[in-house]
Amino acid sequence: QVQLQQSGPGLVKPSQTLSLTCTVSGDSINTGGYYWSWIRQHPGKGLEWIGYISHSGSTYYNPSLKSRVTISIDTSKNQFSLKLNSVTAADTAVYYCVRDNWVGTTNWYYFDYWGQGTLVTVSS
């Protein structure tokens, strides 16, 4: 069974960098056919996709956050990470790491495994 376990601080000061890590178990992050995404949810609000990384390190970021986001992957540790810099109170949200399953024959993508979520509060 695939599991995604998130780690990282729940409190970040304004203007600093939010850093979260997701450790994948039950499958190799180096397996083709998957992308590894971050999604966030502002309190009481809907879901916002932040971006993804492939096992080879290719990335795509939501243009709304692109200038501040970096997603990286460490296949030796079966982990991928999110960094969001210059945070403000507007970045306060629950952050999820997610497996984006890609079915190559049909080009379907869907988020099938989610981390437990981390509430990150931006406050001094």
Partner 1 sequence: DIQMTQSPYSLSASVGDRVTITCRASQRISSYLNWYQQKPGKAPKLLIYAATNLQSGVPFRFSGSGSGTDFTLAISSLQPEDFATYYCQQSYSTPRTFGQGTKVELK
Please give the residue ranges that form the binding site for partner 1 (CB under 8 A): 37, 46-49, 51, 60, 62-64, 96, 103, 106-112, 114-117
- Minimum distance between the CB of residue 103 and partner 1, rounded to whole angstroms? 8
Provide the token pair at 41: 């949810």
In the complex, what is the shortest distance from the CB of residue 85 to partner 1, in angstroms, rounded to a whole number? 19
How far apart are alpha carbons 5 and 39 in whole angstroms?
14
* Comparison of 16 and 55: residue with beta carbon closer to partner 1: 55
**Which pair of structure tokens corresponds to residue 72?**
């990286």
Distance of alpha carbon 80 from alpha carbon 37, whole angstroms: 9
Q: How far is the CB of 12 from partner 1 (least distance, A)?
A: 21
The residue (of 7 and 62) whose beta carbon lies closer to partner 1 is 62
Select 31 or 116, whichever has its Cβ closest to partner 1.
116
Which residues make beta-bridge pairs with 121? 11
Instruction: Compare residues 16 and 109 and give the one whose CB is closer to partner 1.
Output: 109
Question: What sign does the CA torsion over 68, 36, 5, 73 have?
Answer: negative
Q: What is the DSSP letter of 15?
A: T
